[in-house]
Amino acid sequence: MKAVSIRIVTVAVLVTLSAIPLAASTPNQQPTNQWQQHFNEVYRLEEGQVLKRIAPPFIPERAEYYKYELKNQAAAIPESPGVLIFHWDGNLKNWGLSFGTGNSLAGVMGMALGFRTDQCEGADQLLKFQIPGDWIVRWPSSEEDRLKALEEILKNEMRKDIHFVKRTVDCEVIVATGTFEFRPLSGTYNSKWVHFFSDTLDPDESSGGGTADSVPDLLNVLGNLTGMQVIYEALPSEQKNLAYGHHNSAYIRRIDDPAEKIRKLELLLANLSEQINLSFRIKTRPVEKWFVEEPNSLYEGQNLNKQPVPDPNSVSTEQNIALQSAKRLNSLAKHLAVYANDHNERFPDNFEQLKNVDVNDTDIQWLQENIEYLGAGKPVTVPANEVIAYDKTLLEKVKKTNVLYADTSIESVTAERLKHELQGPTK
C-alpha cells in the first residue's frame, strides 16, 4: 500500500514522527557521477544482512540523492528529510521519508519494518525511544528476522537492551462482516475516496491518505488508526485500488479518556460502515502481538494501561499475575468512566453499581475480592494523581501492586510508594 497524498504532512503512522511513503526510486546501478558512487557504497546491504541504520551526521551525497532521485519531492520541500527509508532486494529502492530530526522505536517498527500499531505493544518510554538515522531493510524478509536485526542495532549502536517477543493474547478486536459496496460520502473534499473520521471532517487532505490494494488492506488502515486488530469475516471482494483519506478525528489510538475513546470509536465505525456497507462489532479474540520489552523493567514505574496478558507459559508466575491485574484495572478504568458519564460525572459508590454499565457478576466478584476501591462517590474532577483503586491481593503477594489513578493511568508501585501516596496528594 502506497500513500498518494499530494502534499507532505506530519501525520504519524505509529508515533509522533510523520512517515510518508513515496513511489519507489532506484538509483542508477551504474553511477554517472561521483556522488552516486559513494552514496551506493554506503547505502547498501551486505550478503545476509537484513537491516542497516545510517546514523547522522549524514554523508553529503545524501542531499544530492534527495535532490536528483526524488526531484518532485525536493522541488516541493528543498530541505532534506530527517529520515529516509529504503528497501533492498539487491538494488536500493526508496520506500519512504519523514521530515524531522529522528524517529522513535515505534516509528521505526512501523515505517521501516512494516508493523501496524495494532500488532505491537509496549511501555510508552520504550516505544518513544529515539533512534535517529536512515534505514535500509531487506525486502522481502520475515518479521522475526527484521526484529532480531533491530535488537542487535539497538544493543550495539544505542546501548539499549530491548527484546521483541511474540505472544498470543486475548484482546478487543474489530470484526468486519457483510459485503463490500462503496457508497460515496457527500460533503467531503474528495467524494471518490473512503474517509476515515469520527465526529469532524477535515477541510482538505492535509491529514494524509493513500491507496489500499484490497478491502482487507483498507481495513488495516482502520487497525492503524484505532490500535485494534481488524478481523476480516466479510464476503470476499475483488475491489482493488481503494483511495482513502484519514482525518484528524480518526486517530482513536491517541485518545486517553476511555469514555471519549469509546464514543469516537463508535462514530468512526458507523461512518465507515455507511461508506463501504460492512458491519463492525467489537469482540474479544485471541490474536498474535509483538511485545516490546526491556529486561528487569517490565513493571516498575511503567504505565500499564496497554499491557495485555501474555501466555502464562512464556513469563514468570509473578509477571503473569501482575499483568492479569493490570488488564483488570484497565477494564475497570473504562467502566468507571462510562458510569461517571451517565451519573453526573461521579464514580460509583461500590462495584455493584457497575452492573449499570454491563459488568457481569463474575467480574464484580473478582473486583470485590481483590481490589481496594477508594473512588466511591467521588467526582471525576479529583486531582489526576489521586489513587482510585489498587490491587490489594497483588500487594500482599509481591509487596508491590498496580494502582489506578484518577486520570485512568495505571502504574506498578512499591508498597512504600503506595503508602506515601495514600497519605497525601503528591505523586
Cβ atoms within 10 Å, residue 292: 20
Does residue 373 share a domain with residue 308? yes
| Together in a domain, 30 and 153 | yes
* Sign of the dihedral through C-alpha 38, 40, 46, 51: positive
Is 217 among the domain residues? Answer: yes
Domain co-membership, 231 together with 332: no
pTM: 0.61
Which of 133, 161, 189 is where one domain is finished? 161
Domain boundary pick from 283, 309, 327: 283
Which has the minimum average pLDDT: 1-10, 23-32, 309-318, 403-412?
A: 1-10
Whether 338 shows a pLDDT value over 90: the answer reads no
Residues 88, 125: one domain? yes
Q: Where are the beta strands (DSSP E) in 63-206?
A: 83-88, 92-98, 120-122, 134-138, 163-178, 194-196
> Do 212 and 333 sit in the same domain of this protein?
no
- Among the three residues 226, 256, 283, which one is the final residue of a domain in this structure? 283
Same domain, 64 and 25: yes
Q: Kindly report, residue by residue over 126-152, the tens digit of the pLDDT.
A: 888 999 999 999 999 999 999 999 999
pLDDT, tens digit (0-9, with 9 covering 90-100), for 230-249? 999 999 999 999 999 999 99
Is 257 contained in some domain?
Answer: yes
pLDDT at 12: 35
Range of the domain at 397: 298-423
| Cα–Cα dist 84/65, whole Å | 11
How many domains would you assign to the chain? 3
Compute how many other C-beta atoms are within 10 angstroms of the C-beta atom of residue 376: 13
- The fraction of the chain above a pLDDT of 70, given in percent, is 85
Sequence-ordered alpha helix ranges (H) in 7-103: 34-42, 61-69, 71-76
**Average pLDDT value for the chain:** 84
